[in-house]
Amino acid sequence: MTSKAKAALYDQFALVGKAFSNGRRAELVDVLAQGERSVEGLAEQISQSFANTSQHLQVLARSGLVTSRRDGNRVLYRLAGEPVEALWETLRGAAESVAGVHRAAEDYLGNRGELELVSRDELARRLDEGVLVWDVRPVAEFEAGHVPGAVSVPPGEVQRRLDEVPDGVEIVAYCRGRFCVFADEAVRALAGRNRPARRLEDGFPEWRRAGLPVAASSG
């Protein structure tokens, strides 16, 4: 009995690991770390069909990584709790030392050597000092939660919004995390207009989990 119970326990551990064995499911977890989303919204974010996205979500649900609720005609998904976010962060951190992951990150994110970073603690101290904070995630993620005082500048609007930045004002941009390219692209675009800009060292989920102030526009 003990041997069977032990095997069943480790099978459950493996079930959670298996849920991360597909890149689209890992991407879904990354998006859901920003807040609750509908299947339609998730499908758009990971560039998959509604049917494929639903199938991936069912795998994540069976593993206990996500939960869902009905809101009228929509089904909304969210991560099952902070331990799931922590697991995803740990997995990414451990994978960074793997050569293949490192090369793939460089191919996706480009050369980050020219990007100046700002820590969470420094940004928290400077929120009342006139720094302009850009949240360059999709609007739904901004509305679910953001850094207090941040301005929503969705990825597709960055170029159009460059001329709105007052001269001499420093900008800090952030998005979903260290492997999110939106903030990198915003900082590079701002630098191209000679605007002082830095990137938050990671992203909004890490900010929230650190217990720093959070504002929300919805609910």
The yes-or-no answer on residue 180 being catalytic is no
My answer on whether 50 and 142 are in the same domain is no
- At 173-195, the pLDDT tens digits run 999 999 999 999 999 999 999 99
Selection from 111, 143, 158 nearest residue 219 by Cα: 143
My answer on whether 53 and 113 are in the same domain is no
My answer on whether 125 and 189 are in the same domain is yes
Q: Which of 158, 175, 186, 200 is catalytic?
A: 175
Range of the domain at 62: 2-86
Selection from 85, 83, 88, 98 nearest residue 20 by Cα: 88
Q: Does the structure show a pLDDT above 60 at 218?
A: no
My answer on whether 81 and 155 are in the same domain is no
CATH number at residue 111: 3.40.250.10
On whether residue 94 sits in a domain, the answer given is no
Please give the single-letter amino acid code of residue 28. L
Q: Does the structure show a pLDDT above 80 at 1?
A: no
My answer on whether 76 and 17 are in the same domain is yes
Whole-structure pTM value: 0.85
Q: Does the structure show a pLDDT above 60 at 33?
A: yes
